[in-house]
C-alpha cells in the first residue's frame, strides 16, 4: 500500500498533464457544436427530440439489462489504457483516449445546452455529470499510471537506464492500481444503470415540453 501511495505521489505531474489534456478535449468538443451547420444542428435536434419522447413514453431499458453493457464499455476503456501503458508505442494512444473522452463529454453537454438552453444543462447535470464525477478521475488516474509505466519502459528498454528486473515491482503496482480502478468502474456503472435513468425520467418531461 505504501508503494502504491508513493507511486501516485511521484506521478502527480502526470495527473495534472492528463487532466489538462482532458479539459482541452472538453473545450474542443463544445466548440465543435458551435461549428455545426444549421442542417447538422437540425438533425441533432430531431434525434434528441425523438429520444426524449421515447424516454418519456416508454422509459429506458431495465437496469439489470443495461448494467453489464455499461460496465463492459467502461471496463474496456480501462483495459485499453492498461494495455497501451505496457508498450512504448502505446503512449500516444493514451493521450488520444483522454482527449477523445473530453471531446465526447464536451460535445454532449454542448449539444444539450445549445438545443435546450438551461433545460439541456439540467438534463446534463442528471444524466452526464453524476457518474462522470467518479468515472473521469478513475480514467485519469489509470492514464497517469499508464503514462508513468510507459515512460519507465522507455527508460528501461530503449535507453537502457534500468535493469529489466527492476520493472517487475512497478508493473505489479501499475496492475494493482488498474484493478482497483476497474472495481470502482463496476460500482459507478451500477449507479449509471439504476440511479441515472430515474433522474433522467424526472427531467425528460421538461425537455419534451420545451421541444
Mean local confidence (pLDDT), 145-173: 75
Q: Which residue has the cell 454542448?
A: 110
Of the listed ranges 78-82, 98-102, 123-127, the least confidently predicted one is: 123-127
- Cβ atoms of residues 208 and 53 within 8 Å: yes
Give residue-wise pLDDT tens across range 23-78: 999 999 999 998 888 888 888 888 888 888 887 777 676 667 789 999 999 999 99
Mean local confidence (pLDDT), 90-115: 93
Q: How confident is residue 165, by pLDDT bands cut at 50, 70 and 90?
A: very low
At residue 210, the pLDDT reads 61
More confident site: 93 or 53: 93
DSSP track, 124-160: HHHHTHHHHHHHHHHHHHHHHHHHHHHHHHIIIIIS-
Q: Residue 137's Cα: distance from chain center in Å?
A: 8
Alpha-carbon span 87 to 188, nearest angstrom: 28
Alpha-carbon span 103 to 31, nearest angstrom: 9
> Full-prediction pTM beyond 0.85?
yes
Amino acid at each position: 500500500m505504501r508503494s502504491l501511495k508513493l507511486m501516485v505521489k511521484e506521478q502527480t505531474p502526470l495527473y495534472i498533464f492528463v487532466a489538462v489534456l482532458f479539459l482541452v478535449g472538453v473545450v474542443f468538443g463544445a466548440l465543435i457544436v458551435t461549428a455545426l451547420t444549421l442542417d447538422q444542428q437540425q438533425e441533432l435536434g430531431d434525434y434528441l427530440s425523438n429520444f426524449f419522447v421515447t424516454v418519456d413514453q416508454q422509459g429506458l431499458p431495465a437496469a439489470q439489462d443495461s448494467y453489464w453493457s455499461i460496465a463492459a464499455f467502461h471496463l474496456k476503456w480501462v483495459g485499453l489504457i492498461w494495455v497501451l501503458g505496457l508498450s512504448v508505442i502505446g503512449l500516444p494512444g493514451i493521450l488520444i483516449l483522454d482527449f477523445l473522452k473530453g471531446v465526447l463529454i464536451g460535445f454532449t453537454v454542448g449539444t444539450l445546452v445549445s438545443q435546450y438552453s438551461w433545460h439541456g444543462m439540467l438534463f446534463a447535470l442528471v444524466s452526464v455529470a453524476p457518474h462522470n464525477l467518479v468515472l473521469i478521475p478513475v480514467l485519469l488516474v489509470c492514464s497517469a499510471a499508464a503514462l508513468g509505466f510507459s515512460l519507465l519502459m522507455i527508460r528501461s528498454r530503449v535507453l537502457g537506464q534500468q535493469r529489466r528486473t527492476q520493472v517487475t515491482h512497478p508493473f505489479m503496482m501499475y496492475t494493482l492500481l488498474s484493478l482497483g480502478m476497474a472495481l470502482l468502474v463496476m460500482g459507478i456503472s451500477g449507479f449509471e444503470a439504476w440511479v441515472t435513468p430515474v433522474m433522467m425520467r424526472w427531467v425528460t418531461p421538461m425537455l419534451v415540453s420545451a421541444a
